[in-house]
Structure 1
Amino acid sequence: MKKLAFFQRFLLPLLLVGLFAVLSTTVYMFTLNMREIEADAHQETNELAHLLTMAKSLVEERVHSSMELLKKNSEALGTPHIRGTVVLNGETIPNLTFAEEAQIRQSSLVDGVTSIGNGTATLFVKHHDAFIRIATNVKIKNSARAVGTQLDPTGKAIPFLRKGKAFYGVVDILGEPYISGYEPMFDQSGIVIGAWYVGYKVDVKALDQAIKQWSFLDTGFAAIRDYNHQLRFVSERTQPLAAQSILNQTDDRWVIIKKRIPDWNFDAYIAYPKHEAYLQSIGNLYPILVLGSVFGCVLLLLASHAIKRFVLKPLGGDPETAYNLVHRIEQGDFNDDGTHAPPDTLIGNMLTMRQRIHDMVTELTENADRLRVSSSVFEHAHDGIFITDSTARIIEVNPAFTVITGFSREEALGKNPETLGFAYQIEAFFSQFFESTKQQGEWQGEVWNRHQNGETYIAWLDVFPVHAKTGEFQHYVGLFSDITQAKEQQKSLEHLAYHDALTKLPNRILFSNSLQKTLAHAERTKEVVAICYLDLDEFKPINDQFGHEVGDQLLVMLAERLQSSLRKQDTVARLGGDEFALLLSGLHSTTEYTETLDRILAAIEAPFYIANHAFSISASIGYTVYPGDKNPPDTLLRHADHAMYHAKTHGGKQYHLFDLQLAQLSRDKHQLKEDIAKALSNNQLSVYFQPQINVRTGQVVGMEALIRWQHPQKGLLLPNDFLPLIENTHQIIDISEWVIENALDQLKKWHLAGFDFYVAVNIAAHHLLDKGFETKLAAMLSKFPNVPPHYLNLEITESAAIGEINNVTHIIQQCKKLGVTFAIDDFGAGYSSLTYLRRLPVDSIKIDRSFINGMLVDSEDLAVVSSIITLCKEFKRTVIAEGVESADHAQKLMQLGCDLVQGHSIAKPMPANKVMQWAKAHAPFKFS
């Protein structure tokens, strides 16, 4: 039994510890092997990325050399400059010349530079913010040179060129990577007037061959994907579809190592199955398991011998006896229980210690009652307390004293309170005070004390003398508390009343006070004061995309920049949101405040770096000048606000001086918005209808509903005169719903009269994206059960459709379940039209009237119209042309394959009560 107990108490734990050590080592080595495999995968991913970087570097040298040749050949012709203007493809653009030679459509420079290799070259001229190709060997779809086209305004190079900087990088062209270079072209004044471009296609054959031979473990593979997550290269051992599926997988059966290649905008991957890594790691662990087992057995035998010799004998008895003894001592049981052990052993010494503790506890218990009375006074007080003797020397302090003053009890005893920083601002305060209070009694009040660490704090001090029963003076007792935080809170509340909590700038109240004082001073000194209203131009998108925390940080940084851009006598205040007010005082000329405003705009436009992002914003500033604008302070600030609105609506990034006529125009627009709110209830709105004709048969197939407003003072107003004012408000929803119900009511009447045509209604983006649009539409359709829903066609503008492509697609799909049809209005006006045509589930396309107007005289407009019609036919969309003003237009559209037309040459918009009369009189016609 003793051997079994020995095994259970000592050897079994050692055996378990040994097993745990072996298992821990095994797990550690297994994890280490897995990490090494993963590290190898990371290394190979870096090598893949390096391979593409090297390929880019090789081609980039040719780009640089070709760029130098292009610039050198250009400069040989003469200094670039702008000589007047020239018409290119119907558009007037600057005429770029080298010396006296105009470069428009001159191909010798660009062809000479890239005649060897798969390269392209271009000369651009800067037109406003765009860069127009005037000489190029870049080909468009019909193999013609792309002269007259502009550089993609959203491309990588545009921001660099506008700032007069060069751009070099990888650009994807028709599915192939090109190394491209753009460099700005300056005139003699250092102004950017154009740009040079050179690009070379990367030879990917060598890359493809190298990556095909790549392998990792048994079935792992290497791959390169582009920015659209499409495979460009993959190891030969893996099928591309299988590799794409693995890289897109969401389970954990494969380990995927990814490396970003910024220069290419590609991603390099090494992928391998986890089970292969497991098998390889386990195979490496077999020798360790064998050695660990042998070492554990030897260690167990040695430990058994050592425990008996070095543990049990010095212990002086059974370990259980020692454990029970310690447990009783821990529980506070110090009484003799009859346990014995040899002297000079651990148990024997513990028995001696237990007896000594028993004696000490007995003595402490006897003294506890005497100590409890005096300590309770100090331990339960939150205020600091000190007691002095008759000579004002401290004889006792409580714990709160040490917390508040920082002086320990030992440091305080025997000291006069003055030496511990009490009332340090009043010389000999306690010497005078103690002498007077012996007769006068208690004193209380605020004093400044100095903490042990040197910091100062405000304390409320209450001191009173203590006398013996005989009346003899014995002690002073002082009670005090730290009221610094309460004072600071009071001061903070006063500060918050006049300052912005986020930026710490003055708020509107303090700004108004400063403005009143400044105007009074300017009136006496005959100085000029500029009152400015500043509003940020691009702040809301930052708040929406990155959150209010980032927006708040940006506002704080902006406040610092504004303060540093102003003089000491100037004032900047935050009025709320992203609006600020500036007060520029002590001015004597226009130059002084315009220079300040220029400095402020420049400071705002510099990038803000927050959370590893660079944010660029601008501002619109309106200002008015006193005494030129001699009005009360509130009026002056409102005038500055009006001027700011003018600056914002004219492009922002500028400042504008208050103009009385401009203010009147703003008030007129505001009045018009108020009048719109009354138009529906006062029956001032009406719906006109314009026919849509089948271009082949001449038959009337539909009507477009067009709103009109009979304004009491301004007469009949067209949609563009008032709808833009409310297009992002709830008023546009109310009016659109009214037009839809009006159209459905007219459809009911026309169908009863035997006319079989649909009605198209324009829907604003704000209305389409409004929550519950589908539900409200269903409710309106249910009011007219005799009108088939497919006779209602809803037109949405191209910009609305593309701006919210995912939401719009979902809404259209839901509404089409109700039976209504959809059309895209003004198609072709946006730059992304063809890209999104296939994705939008619309039934018809209405070509923008600007292309129809010019198609008979402008070959490019004709090409656009022809392309749109061809593409719509491919996607089985009905094509409608608006703005058809002649039979020639209609005949040409019919030849191109257009389906429907509308325009003034057919019929102008007419009131609903004249539609049936016109339809009866209309004679179908054909164009041949």
Structure 2
Amino acid sequence: MIGYWGKDLRCLYANPAYQEWFDKEPNDIVGIAFQDLVDEELFSMNEPYIRQVLSGEPQRFERTLSKIDGSEGHIIGHYIPDFDSDGSVKGFSILASEVTVLKETQERLKLAACVFENTLDGVLITDTDGIILSVNPAFTEITGYSAEDAVGQTPRILQSNRHDQDFYVAMWDEITTNNRWSGEIWNRRKDGDLYLERMTISMVRDLEGEPVRYVSVFNDITALRRKDEHLKHLAFHDALTDLPNRTLLMDRVNQKLIDSDRKPCNLALMFLDLDGFKAVNDRFGHNVGDELLKEVAKRLLALVRESDTVARVGGDEFMFILNNPQGKAEIEYVANRIINSINEPIDVYGESLHIGASIGIAMFPTDGDNAVDLINNADIAMYGAKHLGKNNINFFTPSYGVIKTPGKN
């Protein structure tokens, strides 16, 4: 808006832009008093600037005004004094430039900058050559690299070498095709620690559709992944001994049975029940009993091969998967080693404890072709061993474990 007002505050000129704001033709504005054109509130806001411009001082101010259609517009106003030949002020020009779009853009930029600076997600911006142009504080918090460290470098400073070239080729194919890639990637902090991040890389194009920037937004999910892995571990392992539990044992037996369809093999399942454990637990308490079970687990683990599995399936019950044994002689040898190891005194909290073990054995494929039958038959054989007395092993037979091989007493 451009207008001219005399020192009596009557309009002497108004351009067509006034109509948008005041719904009056310029000719209707000429001759009107300033305070009659605007409401009382707006006049009181402008009055200090009017006094200053009439005293000969140019004025500049910013203001948000309501248009006649109810919308709001932001203006930058200039009051420019007009001097008479004698140096007195005879009036002033008004130049009011609407900068609503500019102001809204500035506000959006401020908001974007605020988000950039305060988001907990790391943000990294590169040019089309991969040169880092900007990073936010969260980037520094996650990676350990300051803005000074990173700007001018490439994202290769974060590379962990955990991914092969095919991984990065597929990533950039996705970005080129769909303007975006999202996924999980291992990177390396400044101090050398590896971390897992969930990342989105977006391509920014100009008005002609040409790439001008790449924006990477990421967050560190290492702790979350470790928590997930820990929960998964707890789901398949005994909380006290950290041995596989019954669920994982069943899974491994089933997997070996599936593999046997491709490559025939033998399996022996040993069901082990501790002799005398209840008496120790009752006499010394659960804390001693728990430590005893931990020591038994360590001794059992020392006896297994990499291809074998030892699991805790109950209070004082353990199971072995002996993979591809070379006949009963090897199975008996391993079973006797187990009993001899457990027969050795176990020191817990200054007490020398003595326990034994009864072992029942079922073999694949002769004693069952599925995990449930094999475990049940090994359990039956174990109770047969207990009936024979402490420290015995017993092979399953349909007639309830009549074949036995005594352990070393």
TM-score by length of 1: 0.28
Structure 1 residue aligned with 2:183 = 445
Which residue of the partner structure matches residue 22 of structure 2?
none
> In the TM superposition, what are the counterparts of 1:732-881 in structure 2 within 5 Å?
none
Aligned partner of 2:331 among 580, 589, 593: 593
Mapping of residues 336-355 of structure 1, within 5 Å: none
- Cross-structure match for 2:121: 383
* 1:511 paired residue among 249, 259, 274: 249
* Structure 1 residue 470: Cα displacement: 9.3
The 3-state SS of whatever aligns with 2:336 is helix
Name the residue aligned to 2:274: 536
**1: distance between equivalents of 2:398 and 2:323?**
23
Please identify which structure carries the higher strand content.
2
Describe the SS at the equivalent of 2:313: strand
**Aligned residue among 406, 412, 432 for 2:144:** 406
For residues 234-285 of structure 1, the C-alpha deviation after alignment (integer angstroms, 9 at most, x for no partner) is: xxxxxxxxxxxxxxxxxxxxxxxxxxxxxxxxxxxxxxxxxxxxxxxxxxxx
Counterpart Cα distance in 2 of 1:508 and 1:433: 41
Mapping 1:180-191, distance limit 5 Å:
none
Higher relative contact order (CA 8 A, sep 6+): 2
Per-residue CA deviations over 1:157-212 (Å, capped at 9, x if unaligned) read xxxxxxxxxxxxxxxxxxxxxxxxxxxxxxxxxxxxxxxxxxxxxxxxxxxxxxxx
Alpha-carbon deviations, 1:101-130, whole Å to 9, x = none?
A: xxxxxxxxxxxxxxxxxxxxxxxxxxxxxx
C-alpha distance in 1 between matches for 2:261 and 2:207: 74
SS at match of 1:576: coil
C-alpha distance after superposition, 1:553-595 (max 9, x if no partner): 4333322321221334433222122111223343344322111
Q: Distance in 2 between matches of 1:503 and 1:382?
A: 39
Which residue, 383, 387, 393 being the options, matches 1:645?
Answer: 383
* 1:554 counterpart letter in structure 2: L
Q: Which residue of 1 aligns with 2:79?
A: none
Q: C-alpha separation between the residues in 2 aligned to 1:570 and 1:436?
A: 43
1:280-359 equivalences under 5 Å are none
Q: 1:518 to 1:418 in 2, by over 3 A?
A: closer
Shift of 1:478: 1.9
Q: Report the secondary structure of 2:140's partner residue.
A: helix
Does the residue aligned with 2:156 lie in a helix, a strand or coil?
A: helix
Q: Which amino acid aligns with 1:640?
A: A
1:524 Cα deviation after fit: 9.0
Shift of 1:519: 5.7
Q: Does 1:394 align with 2:123?
A: no
Residue deviations 1:583-624, cap 9 Å, x none?
Answer: 334334432211111100111122334444443322111224
Q: 1:425: which partner in 2?
A: 163
Change beyond 3 A, Cα 1:601–1:471? closer
Secondary structure of the equivalent of 1:599? helix
Q: Equivalent residue for 1:572?
A: 310
Match status 1:456 vs 2:194: yes
* Consecutive unaligned residues in structure 1, runs of 5 or more: 1-371, 665-928
Q: How far apart are the structure 1 equivalents of 2:168 and 2:253?
A: 49
Distance in 1 of aligned mates of 2:261 and 2:213: 66
Q: Secondary structure at the match of 1:565?
A: coil
Instruction: For residue 645 of structure 1, report the CA deviation from its aligned partner.
Output: 2.1
Larger Rg: 1
- Asked if 1 retains the 8 angstrom alpha-carbon contact of 2:269 and 2:320, the reply is yes
1:446 corresponds to which letter in structure 2? Answer: E
Shift of 1:462: 1.8
Q: Please list the CA deviations of residues 433-483 of structure 1 after superposition, one character each: whole Å capped at 9, or x if unmatched.
A: 889968964433333322223333332222334567898865433211123
Q: Which residue of 1 aligns with 2:392?
A: 654
Tell me how far apart the structure 1 counterparts of residues 396 and 167 of structure 2 sit (CA, whole Å): 63
Compared with structure 1, are the counterparts of its residues 549 and 475 closer, same or farther at alpha carbon in structure 2 (3 Å cutoff)? farther
Q: Is the 8 A contact 1:619 1:654 kept in 2?
A: yes
The verdict on how the C-alpha distance between 1:396 and 1:573 changes in structure 2, with shifts beyond 3 A counting, is: same
Look up the SS of the partner of 2:271 in the other structure. strand
Q: Secondary structure at the match of 1:587?
A: coil
Letter in 1 for 2:381: A
Q: Distance in 2 between matches of 1:639 and 1:429?
A: 48
Q: Do the aligned partners of residues 403 and 428 (structure 1) sit closer, same or farther apart at CA in structure 2, a change above 3 Å counting? A: farther
Maintained 8 Å contact 1:424/1:450: no
Q: Is the 8 A contact 1:527 1:588 kept in 2?
A: no
Aligned ranges for residues 494-643 of structure 1 at < 5 Å?
A: 494-516=232-254, 518=256, 529-544=267-282, 546-626=284-364, 629=367, 633-643=371-381
In 2, Cα distance between equivalents of 1:408 and 1:542: 60
Secondary structure of the corresponding residue to residue 375 of structure 2 = helix
Determine the C-alpha separation between the residues in 1 that align with 2:222 and 2:329.
Answer: 48
CA distance in 1, matches of 2:352, 2:147: 55
Alpha-carbon distance between aligned partners in 2 of 1:524 and 1:469, rounded to the nearest angstrom: 59
CA distance in 2, matches of 1:605, 1:458: 47
SS of equivalent to 2:201: strand
Matches within 5 A, 1:23-62: none
Q: Which 10-residue stretch deviates more, 546-555 or 576-585? A: 546-555
More helix by share: 1
- Measured after TM superposition, the shift of residue 638 of structure 1 is 2.3
For 1:493 and 1:478, the matched residues in 2 are separated by: 30
Change (3 A) 1:389 1:625: closer
- Indicate the residue corresponding to 1:246 in structure 2: none
Matches within 5 A, 1:95-114: none
SS in 1 for 2:382: helix
Correspondences of 1:206-225 after superposition (within 5 Å) = none
Distance 2:204 2:121 in 1: 19
Cα separation, 2, equivalents of 1:571 and 1:478 = 44
**Map 1:697-712 → 2, pairs under 5 A:** none
User: Quick check: 1:449–1:459 contact (8 Å CA) kept in 2?
Assistant: yes
**CA 418–541 in structure 1, closer or farther in 2 if over 3 Å, else same:** same
What CA distance in whole angstroms lies between the structure 2 residues aligned with 1:424 and 1:396?
25
CA RMSD of aligned residues (A): 4.2
Q: Between Structure 1 and Structure 2, how many residues are aligned?
A: 295
